[in-house]
Structure 1
Amino acid sequence: MNQSEKTSAAFEDLSSTIPSVDLTDRRATALVVVDVQYSDAAPDRGWVKACEAVEPGSMRYYLERLEQTTLPAIRQLLGAFRAAGMPVVHISTGSAYRDMRDCPPRFRDWTHRLERAAGIDDMWWTGNPDYAFRKEVAPMEGETVIRKTTQGAFNGSEIQNVLDRAGIRNLVFAGVVTSCCVETTARDAADRGFGCMLVSDACADCIPAMHDAAMMNFGLYFGQVARSAEEVVRAIGVGERRKNHDVSTR
């Protein structure tokens, strides 16, 4: 093991000092799926299309991870939370206005610069069909949907009030992009007193280093990191609950 690997392992050991998230507290624990929309989580559409137009090949890794790893993991989490009757919250990024007047100037200006460079319009406008959630992980009836106008949900939506009124105290995060909207929202949630967990394979970033750095940093300072959706499913105990139910009804 080289020095870099030793340092990394030491930081992972330090993460054990972060308080754990009680996933068995089903009424107070919600799955939060961040920004899995066509606008930023689909090939040849929205943000991905814009980035590829400016720098061809720049989104190849992101799209491969999204399709092969992240979307299947999110579907697994959704299945488990729904089976357990646990709350699910879907977050979207979108402006009610084509000129993005309800978004922060920095976010608005960055978007317009990228749109001009790529030759596309209305990347985050709610009137764009790309604003919709990807159908594979779209909200079901009764699940909470929150629109944000900033990259972190707590700065640009009513998520705090929604969670407080529902009695939610623990949050399990999945979605895109790991080091941007997912991490920002999760960090802000931790600072507000929520128990937080990032699910590594249920998140995607543009390059592995960005994803890995976000996970390591979050696990050291803000909350727990689960390596896989399978770990979360086991902790919730959905499979065991189903097994016991099947035995008791024979």
Structure 2
Amino acid sequence: MTSSTDTALLVIDAQESFRRRADDWAATANPEVLDNIALLVAHAREVGDPVVWITHSEPGSGGVFDPAQGFVRVISELGPRESEAAVTKTTINAFASTDLHERLQGAGVRRVVICGIRTEQCCETTARVAADLGYEVEFVTDATTTSAIPADGTLEAVSGDDIMRRTESILSARGFATIVRTRARVGTAAV
């Protein structure tokens, strides 16, 4: 990975595995997530920031995250390029089970822009770890998504929108990340 800037876009788990969970995907809290990720990717390419495509894998699980099933690949509409870095993780954060930190360090990256799927899981956890590693973190919440957590008898249901707002609040208030919106990040007026 080479970089002409100190910023990298991390696209986390924007992969076919999630679309294979049809009911879950249909109930996503942010139906515009793929459009917003595409805007961030186009902007990063335009300004020369490296794009890192991160996928989640659960080898041997037999589920949608098992690479043997064929769904551990970036959603094709996002148009990943062969020249762009790609890492596959087996942990919730994108650093623990990959060489992502070494790649970013080698490219001189000091700031990461985070977007992707599962706002409160892989995206938030990666943001926290990135902050702990010393990166400036921009968290583009409207370029992330999640789905509701249903009640389970002991806990109340939590809507996807509530999860996304909570994640924003915690990351910002606790100093893990600066919260930005897609159109502000790419420099276009809100639609």
TM-score scaled to structure 2, two decimals?
0.84
Task: Name which of structure 1's ranges 205-214 and 136-145 shifts more when overlaid on structure 2.
Answer: 136-145
Report the Cα distance in structure 1 between the residues aligned to 2:42 and 2:64, rounded to whole angstroms. Answer: 30
In structure 2, which of residues 166, 180, 183 is the aligned counterpart of residue 213 of structure 1? 166
Name 1:35's counterpart in structure 2: 13
Structure 2 SS opposite 1:185: helix
Report the Cα distance in structure 2 between the residues aligned to 1:168 and 1:85, rounded to whole angstroms. Answer: 12
| Identity %, equivalent residues | 28
Letter paired with 1:98: G
CA distance 1:129–1:225, change in 2 (3 Å): same
Deviations 1:138-169 (A, max 9, x none): 42121110110001111221111111111111
Structure richer in strand, relative to its length: 2
Name 1:98's counterpart in structure 2: 60
Structure richer in helix, relative to its length: 1
Name 1:202's counterpart in structure 2: 143
Q: Decide which structure has the larger Cα Rg and report it.
A: 1
Q: What is the deviation of 1:73?
A: 0.5
Name 1:6's counterpart in structure 2: none
Structure 1 SS opposite 2:103: helix
Deviations 1:76-129 (A, max 9, x none): 11111111111111100014x315xxxxxxxxxxxxxxxxxxxxx332122222
Structure 1 residue ranges without an equivalent (≥5)? 1-24, 53-57, 100-120, 240-250
Report the Cα distance in structure 2 between the residues aligned to 1:132 and 1:195, rounded to whole angstroms. Answer: 27
Report the Cα distance in structure 1 between the residues aligned to 2:96 and 2:169, rounded to whole angstroms. Answer: 23
In structure 1, which of residues 78, 84, 91 is the aligned counterpart of residue 47 of structure 2? 84
In structure 2, which of residues 97, 104, 107 is the aligned counterpart of residue 163 of structure 1? 104
Report the Cα distance in structure 1 between the residues aligned to 2:40 and 2:25, rounded to whole angstroms. Answer: 25
Q: What is the deviation of 1:59?
A: 5.2
Letter paired with 2:161: P
Report the Cα distance in structure 2 between the residues aligned to 1:145 and 1:138, rounded to whole angstroms. Answer: 13
TM-score scaled to structure 1, two decimals?
0.65
